[in-house]
Structure 1
Amino acid sequence: MTTQPKVLISDKMDPRAAAIFRERGIQVDEITGKTPEELAAIVGDYDGLAIRSSTKVTPKILAAATSLKVVGRAGIGVDNVDIPAATARGVVVMNTPFGNSITTAEHAIALLFALARQLPEADASTQAGKWEKNRFMGVEVTGKTLGLIGAGNIGSIVASRALGLRMKVVAFDPFLSPERAVEIGVEKVELDELLRRADFITLHTPLTDQTRNILSRENIAKTKKDVRIVNCARGGLIDEAALKDALDSGQIAGAALDVFETEPATASPLFGTPGFISTPHLGASTNEAQVNVAIQVAEQMSDFLLLGGVTNAINVPSLSAEEAPRLKPYMALAEKLGSLVGQLARGSIAGLSIETEGAAAELNMKPITGAVLAGYMRVHSDTVNMVNAPFLAKERGLDVREVRHDREGDYHTLVRVTAHTQAGDRAVAGTLFGNAAPRLTELFGVKVEADLAGDMLYIVNEDAPGFIGRLGTTLGEAGINIGTFHLGRIDAGGEAVLLLSVDEPVGAEVVARIEQLPGVKQVRPLKF
């Protein structure tokens, strides 16, 4: 007799979530407001844990959850779940990344209007008994240029609303293809051009190492004078101290933040600054959004517990039990190759070609493709995984091609990833050592034998005597220890490619010192 699955809802959630579990034949308990100790005492009885943002799924909670199979987050962010710990214990972590897209987009538009017409200040003044009609001189949005930083699901919704308001829309997004830009009615531009042209700027990108402080002090200085900025995406995308200074100096006419680098933001230098509007992370706070994410998380968890279906999983691919053991090492190789392309390829990438030959050509390519895309797109997004990466790539118009080769090559099995850029094709390739360990074999036309793991350093330099000694001295003086050393070149005396594994990340100051060494053409820190 099959045991009926049990799910615990540990945060306040729309009652439709519990109703869906019961309709699907799953036992459900709604026990909210527990301390971590109290939750740890009861969670061991449950197969599934449905949460919002209050419950913290820590290693301690996971250790106590001896029967737990899936954690479902009703919402996008999974910062409150220890993903590595969950993965180590075999617990699937799901989220609902698209349930609050419209709500967040509408909040961004609302803040845009509030900035344009100084609504909070006018309301406070009027309710204080004043009638300062001449004080609040706003601006129209019609005919103005809106700059989108991020043109994914939420950004494209904001674009459609802005176009309806007769605004012009320009967008910066590394994944946005020219064809997709035309489809959603925006002009694809580089970041500097957006900053120069936009009358309003809205941010719709996740927080990653690449996007952190994307509106830095330097970039804020490049903006059009009297620009107005809205952020309903993630705290940390804007240098808040620089934003404060720009508001004070008049470079920026207004700014509205729904998210802050530190939350809850009970104190901020921005509070009280003229032209500044703040809301307490209300992007997803509508009745409709709360219902949508509750329904979605219940349906996803039910499908997993009853049928084995995996949707919007953060830490596992969509695989059958039969395919998983054979595909696992190939997916690890594919993800590393995708990450390498994402970290190194420059310029607008119109598409990716994923080729397999030898033993790899006999496998199901979908998981391999998903792993490549996850590795490639994770450089810019903290919510990408092997399940949703193909959807996100399609949404942004990224052309993805899968090619199988029957030919026999130099290796018994090979995966090659080629980025099609405006500057030409850039390819990397790898194989499996001992049918298990991923190994890089080709890097942008140069034969290289290297592992891809941890912190690494990629260097292109002139192949000349003395360089390796100078590089070693520079890293040694910075206290950075070299783990492994991989060198490749096309011709003697030409360009050489160097891949180093190092025991700690190489900071910007050390990178700058290496760039000054004679013969160095390019330096890039890598992380795997």
Structure 2
Amino acid sequence: MKALLLENVHPLAETLLTDAGIDVKMVAGALDEDELITALDGVELVGIRSKTEVTPRVLANAPSLQAIGAFCIGTNQIALSDAAERGIVAFNAPFSNTRSVVELALAEIIVMARRLTEKDRALHDGVWDKNAKGSHEIRGRKLGIVGYGNIGSQLSVVAEMLGLQVYFYDTDDKLALGNARRCASLNELLDIAEVVTLHVDGRDGNAGFFGAEQFARMQPRSLFLNLSRGFLVDYDALREHLESGHIAGASVDVFPVEPKKRGDAFTSPLQGVPNVVLTPHIGGSTEEAQEDIGRFVASKLRDYVQHGSTTLNVNLPSLNVDNRSKGCRLMHFHLNTPGVLAKVNSVLATHGVNIDGQMLNTRGQTGYVVTDVSHGLSDAVLAELRQMPETIRLRVID
């Protein structure tokens, strides 16, 4: 079995997959659509980060592909529904870099509140500018968190420990942690908060989520952060409000268009604006987070290959299955219609195959059944199962 790992995935991922008997090829940068199609010829597993897009066209031209590992939080770069229709399971790392993003957000809030970028630039230019004008403590300030998921909720807890008053808004009904207070709407949060930070997911419907109207509603001389997705924010509108003085500072880690690899040219309307911190999508880029992401996602890919486990995947039914003791394991992705399990078992019974154990789960239009049998399966059995009109993909582990 072959695996392709792109975008400087942590070496631990290569080690874990290689130890599982998988032939791993590492590529430093991202690949465009045509390059990825060529690279996936004969490859069963692919690992990416945020720059490589696994499009419907890529999936249609990668018949060997069985699983995708997103070595990051976001999965909007993967055509998940198309992958599900082909029985290709996708995993991500929803928790591994949470702390790294939280610490960067807090560091940037302090940097902006103290206007450290301007002090730093002045000293590099040989100017001694020692004064307190425009420099503030963060203690007691009102922090507004937009998106109260894994990152937003942890930021809430740590920020409160530093003395910030925390408010949050989320479209889902989330439990407030500590003394955080839930806002009924985004506008309510913007009316209150002195610091607004976005931690919103990358679904298509969130494009253009934060623009001129929202910046105008923010408190005068407030601070703004986006460490979630670049296409959420109108950065031209942000620049206008920074230059007018309505927004006192901004920190941005993500952009609508980002270079494919380190060293490529970068442009943004926010370049050159005072008290603006620009970072190259490094929210989760700490050595600790990348190592944990490498371990987590590679382990999920390994467990799927070896056992058929789909626990914590993002697009297909989830089954937590461990190693079989003997015989072989049959893994069957199928259309979620009535009677499929009965058909599978009828085929096995007709050919005299005894079932040792069986698990089934469904998700949306797809079902997934794992069946353990005592002995190997004949070509006739496998052919009959593959020919079932409901079958999406059939895998066998001997």
TM-score (norm 1): 0.57
Q: Supply the distance in 2 between the matched residues of 1:292 and 1:224 (Cα, whole angstroms).
A: 38
- 1:199–1:228 Cα contact (<8 Å) kept: yes
User: Percent same amino acid among aligned pairs?
Assistant: 33
Q: Kindly state the Cα deviation for residue 56 of structure 1 after the two structures are TM-superposed.
A: 4.1
Is the partner of 2:207 in helix, strand or coil? coil
Structure 1 residue aligned with 2:290: 290
Q: 1:214 to 1:66 in 2, by over 3 A?
A: closer
Structure 1 residue aligned with 2:157: 160
Q: 1:329 to 1:157 in 2, by over 3 A?
A: farther
Runs of 5+ in structure 2 lacking a partner?
Answer: 260-264, 322-329, 340-359, 369-389, 391-398
Q: Kindly state the Cα deviation for residue 150 of structure 1 after the two structures are TM-superposed.
A: 0.9
Partner residue of 1:140 out of 123, 137, 140: 137
- 1:18–1:28 Cα contact (<8 Å) kept: no
Structure 2 residue aligned with 1:76: 73
- 1:58–1:81 Cα contact (<8 Å) kept: yes
- 2:117–2:275 Cα contact (<8 Å) kept: no
Q: Kindly state the Cα deviation for residue 92 of structure 1 after the two structures are TM-superposed.
A: 1.7
- State whether structure 2 residue 259 is matched by structure 1 residue 259: no
Structure 2 residue aligned with 1:439: none
Give the aligned residue type for 2:44: D
- 1:20–1:298 Cα contact (<8 Å) kept: yes
Structure 2 residue aligned with 1:390: none
The within-5 A match list for 1:123-522 is 123-134=120-131, 137-177=134-174, 180-181=175-176, 183-190=177-184, 191-208=186-203, 210-264=205-259, 266-318=266-318, 327-328=336-337, 371=364
Q: 1:288 to 1:85 in 2, by over 3 A?
A: same
Q: Supply the distance in 2 between the matched residues of 1:170 and 1:116 (Cα, whole angstroms).
A: 18
Mean Cα deviation higher: 107-116 or 28-37: 28-37
- 1:48–1:71 Cα contact (<8 Å) kept: yes
Is the partner of 2:40 in helix, strand or coil? helix
Q: Kindly state the Cα deviation for residue 58 of structure 1 after the two structures are TM-superposed.
A: 4.3
Is the partner of 2:213 in helix, strand or coil? helix
Is the partner of 1:87 in helix, strand or coil? helix
Q: 1:158 to 1:6 in 2, by over 3 A?
A: same
Q: Kindly state the Cα deviation for residue 79 of structure 1 after the two structures are TM-superposed.
A: 4.1
- 2:253–2:279 Cα contact (<8 Å) kept: yes
- State whether structure 2 residue 8 is matched by structure 1 residue 12: yes
Q: 1:276 to 1:326 in 2, by over 3 A?
A: closer
Q: 1:96 to 1:117 in 2, by over 3 A?
A: same
Q: Supply the distance in 2 between the matched residues of 1:185 and 1:153 (Cα, whole angstroms).
A: 17
Partner residue of 1:94 out of 72, 91, 96: 91
Q: Supply the distance in 2 between the matched residues of 1:214 and 1:62 (Cα, whole angstroms).
A: 29
Q: Supply the distance in 2 between the matched residues of 1:9 and 1:240 (Cα, whole angstroms).
A: 32
- 2:223–2:250 Cα contact (<8 Å) kept: yes
Q: Kindly state the Cα deviation for residue 291 of structure 1 after the two structures are TM-superposed.
A: 0.5
> Structure 1, residues 41-91: CA drift from partner, whole Å, max 9, x if none?
553333222223454434554455332211112112334434344334332
Q: Supply the distance in 1 between the matched residues of 2:28 and 2:139 (Cα, whole angstroms).
A: 47
Q: Supply the distance in 2 between the matched residues of 1:125 and 1:205 (Cα, whole angstroms).
A: 35
Give the aligned residue type for 1:22: T
Q: Supply the distance in 2 between the matched residues of 1:103 and 1:77 (Cα, whole angstroms).
A: 15
- 2:87–2:333 Cα contact (<8 Å) kept: no
> Structure 1, residues 339-387: CA drift from partner, whole Å, max 9, x if none?
xxxxxxxxxxxxxxxxxxxxxxxxxxx967x659xxxxxxxxxxxx999
Q: Kindly state the Cα deviation for residue 237 of structure 1 after the two structures are TM-superposed.
A: 2.3
- 1:151–1:176 Cα contact (<8 Å) kept: no
Structure 1 residue aligned with 2:343: none
Q: Kindly state the Cα deviation for residue 282 of structure 1 after the two structures are TM-superposed.
A: 1.1
- 1:72–1:301 Cα contact (<8 Å) kept: yes
Q: Supply the distance in 2 between the matched residues of 1:165 and 1:386 (Cα, whole angstroms).
A: 47
Computed over aligned residues only, the root mean square deviation of the Cα atoms, in angstroms, reads: 3.2
Runs of 5+ in structure 1 lacking a partner?
Answer: 331-365, 373-384, 388-435, 437-528
Q: Supply the distance in 1 between the matched residues of 2:135 and 2:268 (Cα, whole angstroms).
A: 26
TM-score (norm 2): 0.74
Q: Supply the distance in 1 between the matched residues of 2:305 and 2:312 (Cα, whole angstroms).
A: 14
Give the length in aligned residue pairs: 332
Q: 1:168 to 1:68 in 2, by over 3 A?
A: same
Structure 1 residue aligned with 2:103: 106
- 2:227–2:252 Cα contact (<8 Å) kept: yes
